[in-house]
């Protein structure tokens, strides 16, 4: 599983919205890399923001 897949899985497994720091802690991926991956996921709407600075998997 690559880093992008780990980040996506972290969002899927979470019951609540997460910020980049929390994703980094859970997935054991450097925060800088998580930020880069989340930027891609935001662009293609894989993750959405239910509240400011927090993100959740878009299961639509």
Written as six digits, the tokens of 4 are 């992008």
Give the burial string for 5-27 (b: 16+ CB within 10 Å, else e): ebbbebbeeeeebbebebbbebb
Task: Select the CATH number that applies to the domain covering 3-57 from these four: 1.10.10.10, 1.20.1090.10, 1.20.1250.20, 1.10.3720.10.
Answer: 1.10.10.10
Averaged pLDDT of the chain: 97
State the pLDDT at residue 60.
75
Q: What is the pLDDT of residues 21-47, one digit of tens each?
A: 999 999 999 999 999 999 999 999 999
State the pLDDT at residue 27.
97
Extents of the domains making up the chain = 3-57
Radius of gyration of the chain (CA): 10
pTM of the model: 0.92
**Bridge-based pairing state of the strands 47-51 and 54-57:** antiparallel
CB 56 within 8 A of CB 47: yes
């Amino acid at each position: 599983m690559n880093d992008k897949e780990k980040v996506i899985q972290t969002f899927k497994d979470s019951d609540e919205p997460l910020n980049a720091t929390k994703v980094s802690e859970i997935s054991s991926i450097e925060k800088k890399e998580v930020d880069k991956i989340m930027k891609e996921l935001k662009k293609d709407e894989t993750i959405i923001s239910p509240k400011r600075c927090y993100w959740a998997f878009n299961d639509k």
